[in-house]
Amino acid sequence: MNKGYLCFVLHTHLPYVRHPEYEDFLEEDWLYEAITETYIPLIMVFEKLVQDRVDFRLTMSLTPSLIAMLGDGLLQERYLRHIDKLIELSQKEIERTRFEPEFNHLARTYFNQFSSCRGVFESYERNLVLAFKKFQDLGKLEIVTCGATHGYFPLMGVAKSSIRAQLKTAVSQYEKVFGRTPRGIWLPECGYNPGDDQFLKEAGLKFFFSDTHGLLHGSPRPKYGVFAPVYCKGSQVACFARDTESSKQVWSSVEGYPGDYNYREFYRDIGFDLDYDYIKPYISSDGIRINTGIKYYRITGNSNDKKPYVPELARQKASAHAANFVFNRQRQAEYLYDLIEKKPVIVSPYDTELLGHWWFEGPMWLDQVIRNIYFDQDIIKMITPMEYLQENPRNQVITPSLSSWGYKGYSEVWLQGTNDWMYRHLHEASWRMDELVKLNPNACGTLRRALNQALRELLLAQSSDWAFIMATGTHTSYAAKRVKEHVLQFLKLYDDIKANSIDEAWLTGIESQDNIFPEIDYRVHQ
């Protein structure tokens, strides 16, 4: 007997990193790694599930910045160059490890993996968004949108027109790419501020996700805790909240599955282990050692003494952990069903890149979870938020609390000593964008191009990723440079527009460089 629902949510996001002015660029590797280690492995899992007629339901956010990168011709060409280098390196590794059986087997495995990735990439016309669209059209995925450039809404409240621009631009892109209107949204960083749901309603969105305390600290207290959605007072937009128990079992490298000693060690890569002259053609062009994705060791323990990775042991562990996850959700659903006297919905959200990139066995684990749920039990059922709302249209009305899923649960990550300098500039730029829109309600020609580009630069500067990177202390110079460059380009456009003296040659150059959202309409910023 069905006693509850499981709502898997995979948040799929990368900041917009595209640098045509360079032959290759280190930070673009973020995209190439995610394609090879996460997106294509998941697509292959979905394809096999459909082939085997396994019914499943997953919810995925595909952020507008990621969709733009996956559909960009330049980045597609560069990915092919990237994967071809990995295929070449894995071939060299097969030869180098010919007298080391445990490593030779792994080298062959990587060669097959990279070759398969290239094949899948080409089969979807080099645009993986087409793959995810296919699974949505089949009814297996619910793809939700996000803020256009992942701007952090709780710190944008002084410039509400920017929140509207983030949402309207995102919805417009979604409709163009998927041929339908998005029904839900992953709020960037799960950041919610009371009243933001009104903006979601304006954009036609029906539901969003919050962290646990966003619902539990709401007013009045939710009758069913996080195990049923609520409607936001005034907007009737539904809010689903994260279940801490199921989430922690997966994302925690200490208490969760990914830390098992038999799984692949992320931090041992041949890009750092092998002789420099040998590995030099396959690392950064400026000579900096980087991860190649070829890793030969398992976690083993807390020491630096690592044993060779054994795929069969990892597969066994992934299968056992999948069975454990399903068992725990069954017991959880049974307990809650008796306690709250209705079928609970257990919302389990994760960064998609956890599966495959950080946790190599993650896609394998997810595949087994889905198969176990489909074949081996009838207590829990996979469901999407919209399906749940259609089955359960009556829900409590409350006002959720300010919240995020960042460290300590609020806005500390995105507003602290390392990054607070940004906001005076972002807010001022937002107010100036408002001014430009009011002064030019129906621009055309070069003026319209300049206004559209001004909005692009503002949106790119607003990405929460830059503040996050500065807070974590990695790639900080790059993040600060991105904010400054976009703000400065916005300010030049503002001055040129106000002076009626647009430098068209310069405008053409930055349109080519910062080409996100080609269909953008500057008038959404109001």
Active-site annotation, residues: 189, 351
Helix (H, G, I), strand (E, B) or coil at 52: coil
Q: Which two tokens stand for residue 9?
A: 């949510």
Q: Which amino acid is at 213?
A: H
| DSSP letter assigned to residue 142 | E
d(CA 225, CA 208): 16
Full 3-state SS string of 275-291: CHHHHHHHCCCCCCCCC
Q: Which two tokens stand for residue 488?
A: 């400065």
Q: Which amino acid is at 118?
A: R
User: Under a CB-based contact definition with an 8 Å cutoff, are residues 357 and 14 in contact?
Assistant: no
User: What is the H or E stretch that residue 5 is in?
Assistant: strand 4-12
Angle of helix 40-51 relative to helix 101-123, nearest 10 degrees, comes to 80
Nearest 5°: CA angle at 183, between 180 and 158? 115
d(CA 313, CA 224): 40
Q: Which two tokens stand for residue 134?
A: 């296919």
Helix (H, G, I), strand (E, B) or coil at 222: coil
217-254 CB burial, b ≥16 within 10 A, e <16: ebeeebebbbbbbbbbbebebbbbbbbeebbebbbeee
Q: Which two tokens stand for residue 188?
A: 């960037």
| DSSP letter assigned to residue 35 | I
Q: In residues, how long is the chain?
A: 526
Helix (H, G, I), strand (E, B) or coil at 473: coil
d(CA 305, CA 301): 8
